[in-house]
Amino acid sequence: MSKRRRSRNFIGSLLFVFLLLNPLLAFAKPKPKPKPTPISETPLQKAQRELPKNYFVVYAIVDKIARANGLDNKPWRIVVTSNYAVNAYASDTNLLTFEAGLMDQLEGNASALACAIAHEMGHHTRQHLGYGPVKQEQAKREEIEKAEKAKIVEQQDAQTQALIGAGVATGMAAAGQQVGGIGGGLLQLGGLLFGGASQQKAQNIEVIKAKIEQEAETNYNKRLMEISQTQEFEADENGYIYSVTAGFDPNGCIAVMDILGRMPGAQSEGGSHPAPEKRTQQINALMVKNPPETLKAKGKIFLSTKPTPLKYEIFSYEREGGGTSSGLKVFPITGSTQEDLNRYLN
């Protein structure tokens, strides 16, 4: 056998062995190392990934304020609207609504937004929504009674006075007790005054009633404004205390007032909200009365005992005028009712 032939046979044999062993070699290849498991994200990182920007921002602030101030035992509902109005308000039960215009004006200042959010939370914790109508009705009733007494004594003529006679005091007391509103009270007074009066006297009485109604309405609106302004001052106090206790900069509240002070008509007296200048003065006084360092130290203690952020979910609601929109619900630590129930079913 020639050398060339032997060489070809040898090479062929090697090739045969290689082809035979190749599947086995491939099978014996070490498996690639699995990719390292990524570090699990924190609850806040998860929320930032899942929620729209505006909702994440208000969620993170509401969560911290609630845990730092012991307000995490109830669900809070948050709605951020697309309306470009510089406004926020509290309504229904623990519902906080923030207009897009306010969010835009407070952009870049988390402490200012925290103060605005804490202010609206303060309206709920002060029960302004619950007691507001009661105080309003009380003011209305008191002003009607004052107007009735003052105007009847002052403006009725001698003949009407004689008609009512000695029973005026008793009649007025009875009317005051039974007033259920401006209309009802005045009709009742009309019945008292008419008893046998002539047509002319009836007309005189109608004039008196109209003046009573006008004055009572004016005084009622004035009292209503005073109540509203008092409630705003109270909510400002909560806004400062809640936000600073949660660790935010106290000057955030001053920044909010600065923005409100630039709104058209903000400095005029007689509105439902006090002038921003007066509100700023109160906040400065609060900084002296409740030093930020003291509040922040208190908040750190609360936060250290409740390190887990509150839970959240998106909810849908019917808009006035039709259509649906969405909001964010922030749950207590226990989560939803079903989650809490699972503790008793397992």
185 within a domain of the structure (yes/no): yes
Supply the pLDDT for residue 195: 44
Instruction: Flag the least confident range among 77-86, 134-143, 244-253.
Output: 134-143
Most confident of 131-140, 238-247, 303-312: 238-247
> What pTM was computed for the model?
0.69
78 within a domain of the structure (yes/no): yes
Most confident of 104-118, 202-216, 261-275: 104-118
Instruction: Flag the least confident range among 194-203, 288-297, 327-336.
Output: 194-203
Half-sphere exposure of 254 (CA within 13 A, CB side): 9
Name the domain boundary from 206, 224, 242. Answer: 224
> pLDDT category, 263, cuts 50, 70, 90?
confident
119 within a domain of the structure (yes/no): yes
Amino acid, res. 93 = T
- Round to whole Å and give the CA distance between 115 and 120: 9
Are residues 214 and 241 both part of a single domain?
Answer: no
Are residues 203 and 294 both part of a single domain?
Answer: no
Are residues 276 and 214 both part of a single domain?
Answer: no
- Round to whole Å and give the CA distance between 143 and 146: 5
Residue 96's H or E segment, with its range, is: strand 95-98
- Round to whole Å and give the CA distance between 175 and 145: 8
The whole domain housing 149 covers 134-224
Are residues 202 and 324 both part of a single domain?
Answer: no
Are residues 248 and 318 both part of a single domain?
Answer: yes
160 within a domain of the structure (yes/no): yes
57 within a domain of the structure (yes/no): yes
Are residues 123 and 212 both part of a single domain?
Answer: no
Residue 273: name the closest of 161, 125, 128 by CA: 128
Are residues 237 and 312 both part of a single domain?
Answer: yes
Name the domain boundary from 224, 253, 287. Answer: 224
Name the domain boundary from 180, 205, 224. Answer: 224
Provide φ and ψ at 32, rounded to 5°.
-65, 145
Are residues 267 and 148 both part of a single domain?
Answer: no
Total domains in the chain come to: 2
- Pairwise pLDDT comparison (132 vs 110), residue with the higher score: 110
Cα–Cα distances in angstroms (integers) from residue 152 to residues 122, 138, 207, 216, in the given order: 43, 21, 11, 13
Are residues 239 and 184 both part of a single domain?
Answer: no
> pLDDT category, 190, cuts 50, 70, 90?
very low
Are residues 64 and 197 both part of a single domain?
Answer: no
Supply the pLDDT for residue 149: 67
211-231 mean pLDDT: 79
Across the chain, what does the average pLDDT equal? 78
38 within a domain of the structure (yes/no): no
